[in-house]
Amino acid sequence: MTPADLARALQGARFPILSDVVAVSWSNWREATKEVFVVLFFSLMPLWLGLVIVMISATTWDITNFLGRFASSSDLGILAASLLGPLLYMMFRDEDKPTGDKFVRFPSGLWLVLIMIACCIVATAIYSLTYLSETVVLRDNQGAVIELVNSRRVAAVSWVLFSVAIVVTLIACAIRNSLENQAPRMMSADTQSYVDQLAAQVGPVQEKRA
């Protein structure tokens, strides 16, 4: 089975998100990659600028420690959640607007929104528990400190959230680019259909006059 046959099979089966992803052309993926790069460049400025400062400073911190601290403090999870917010407007700004004789519907919009909500809930839970662990000290009956969160697990979940946010952003941008490129083609098809109908009606009239 060739890649083209596989893509057609996935589209025909209508798997959530996957069927719409394989329908996006390479040019739309390329533009989406550029958009995501620009977003990450500015949104991750505290991270990469902090890495530069750590590299040139004389402190005992290294890059690994800095990244681990950044992730385990829930900052990375909050950053991942903040990337998903603007996607809602981008995805549904043209919802139900007519394009030719059709209405715009964002493909797999429901599934993408569910993923965003799940990521935001997890990021909120991580941030809340991390904040409480730093401000409230809980002790058991023997007086030992009770740890509310595991910093390593927080870091691991934060990296997963960040990766999911990047993938969702890339998919949403690619699908949006595909929809925007389809609109002119749909309008051209409608115009061509109107011209063909008009020509079919005018042709017999000219023949009768001749």
Task: Render pLDDT for 10-53 as a digit per residue (tens, 0 to 9).
Answer: 555 566 777 777 878 888 889 889 999 998 898 888 888 888 88
Using a 10 angstrom Cβ sphere, with 0-12 exposed, 13-18 middle and 19 or more buried, the burial of residue 151 is middle
pTM: 0.69
Phi, psi torsion values for 192, nearest 5 degrees: -65, -40
Residue 190 maps to a domain: no
pLDDT in tens, 102-123: 445 677 888 888 999 999 999 9
- Beta strand 102-103 with 145-146: parallel, antiparallel or unpaired? unpaired
- Give pLDDT, residue 74: 82
Give residue 146's pLDDT band: very low, low, confident or very high (50, 70, 90). Answer: low
- Domain residues for the domain of 7 are 3-182
Domain count, the chain: 1
- Give pLDDT, residue 101: 43
Residue 94 maps to a domain: yes
Residue with tokens 């959230």: 161
Residue 102 maps to a domain: yes
Q: How far apart are CA 144 and CA 154, in angstroms?
A: 22
Using a 10 angstrom Cβ sphere, with 0-12 exposed, 13-18 middle and 19 or more buried, the burial of residue 92 is middle
Residue 200 maps to a domain: no
Residue 197 maps to a domain: no
